[in-house]
Protein backbone atom coordinates (compact mmCIF):
# COMPACT_ATOMS: atom_id res chain seq x y z
CA UNK A 1 0.00 0.00 0.00
CA UNK A 2 1.51 3.28 -1.05
CA UNK A 3 1.20 6.66 0.67
CA UNK A 4 -1.79 7.87 -1.37
CA UNK A 5 -3.71 4.73 -0.54
CA UNK A 6 -2.88 5.17 3.15
CA UNK A 7 -4.25 8.71 3.05
CA UNK A 8 -7.47 7.40 1.46
CA UNK A 9 -7.80 4.81 4.24
CA UNK A 10 -7.24 7.42 6.95
CA UNK A 11 -9.81 9.77 5.40
CA UNK A 12 -12.23 6.86 5.07
CA UNK A 13 -11.82 6.00 8.75
CA UNK A 14 -12.52 9.59 9.74
CA UNK A 15 -15.58 9.76 7.48
CA UNK A 16 -16.97 6.52 8.91
CA UNK A 17 -16.66 7.89 12.44
CA UNK A 18 -18.33 11.16 11.42
CA UNK A 19 -21.15 9.27 9.69
CA UNK A 20 -21.63 7.10 12.76
CA UNK A 21 -21.84 10.17 15.00
CA UNK A 22 -24.29 11.95 12.71
CA UNK A 23 -26.46 8.84 12.41
CA UNK A 24 -26.65 8.37 16.17
CA UNK A 25 -27.41 12.06 16.69
CA UNK A 26 -30.31 12.16 14.23
CA UNK A 27 -31.64 8.75 15.32
CA UNK A 28 -31.98 9.99 18.91
CA UNK A 29 -34.49 12.63 17.84
CA UNK A 30 -37.13 9.92 17.56
CA UNK A 31 -36.82 7.71 20.69
CA UNK A 32 -39.43 5.19 19.55
CA UNK A 33 -37.60 4.25 16.37
CA UNK A 34 -33.93 4.76 17.22
CA UNK A 35 -32.68 1.60 15.49
CA UNK A 36 -34.79 2.10 12.40
CA UNK A 37 -33.79 5.74 12.03
CA UNK A 38 -30.15 4.90 12.66
CA UNK A 39 -30.06 2.29 9.92
CA UNK A 40 -32.00 4.47 7.48
CA UNK A 41 -29.32 7.14 7.84
CA UNK A 42 -26.16 5.07 8.37
CA UNK A 43 -26.44 2.31 5.76
CA UNK A 44 -26.67 4.57 2.68
CA UNK A 45 -23.90 6.82 3.96
CA UNK A 46 -21.50 3.99 4.71
CA UNK A 47 -22.17 2.21 1.41
CA UNK A 48 -21.41 5.34 -0.60
CA UNK A 49 -18.29 6.05 1.46
CA UNK A 50 -16.92 2.54 1.09
CA UNK A 51 -17.70 2.42 -2.63
CA UNK A 52 -15.91 5.72 -3.30
CA UNK A 53 -12.99 4.73 -1.07
CA UNK A 54 -12.55 1.46 -2.91
CA UNK A 55 -12.51 3.33 -6.22
CA UNK A 56 -9.82 5.72 -4.97
CA UNK A 57 -7.69 2.92 -3.54
CA UNK A 58 -7.77 1.14 -6.89
CA UNK A 59 -7.08 4.40 -8.71
CA UNK A 60 -3.94 5.00 -6.67
CA UNK A 61 -2.72 1.41 -6.93
CA UNK A 62 0.79 1.15 -8.32
CA UNK A 63 1.57 -1.43 -10.95
CA UNK A 64 4.19 -4.06 -10.20
CA UNK A 65 6.35 -4.48 -13.30
CA UNK A 66 9.61 -5.90 -11.97
CA UNK A 67 8.45 -9.45 -11.28
CA UNK A 68 10.74 -12.25 -12.45
CA UNK A 69 9.65 -14.14 -15.54
CA UNK A 70 10.45 -17.57 -14.18
CA UNK A 71 9.72 -18.15 -10.52
CA UNK A 72 11.51 -21.53 -10.48
CA UNK A 73 14.90 -19.83 -10.94
CA UNK A 74 14.63 -17.56 -7.88
CA UNK A 75 17.44 -17.65 -5.38
CA UNK A 76 16.54 -18.05 -1.73
CA UNK A 77 18.46 -15.72 0.50
pTM of the model: 0.75
47 domain residue, yes or no: yes
Give exposure, 14-35, as e/b (b: 16+ Cβ within 10 Å): ebbeebeeebeeebeeeeeeee
| Residue 49 confidence (pLDDT) | 97
pLDDT tens-digit map of 13-60: 999 999 999 999 999 998 899 999 999 999 999 999 999 999 999 999
Q: Nearest-CA neighbor of 16 among 59, 38, 48, 39?
A: 48
18 domain residue, yes or no: yes
* Domain range enclosing 32: 3-62
Average pLDDT along the chain:
88
12 domain residue, yes or no: yes
Q: Nearest-CA neighbor of 26 among 42, 47, 44, 11?
A: 42
Amino acid sequence: MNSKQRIVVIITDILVLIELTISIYFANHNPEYVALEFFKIYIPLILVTLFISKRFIRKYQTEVTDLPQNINNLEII
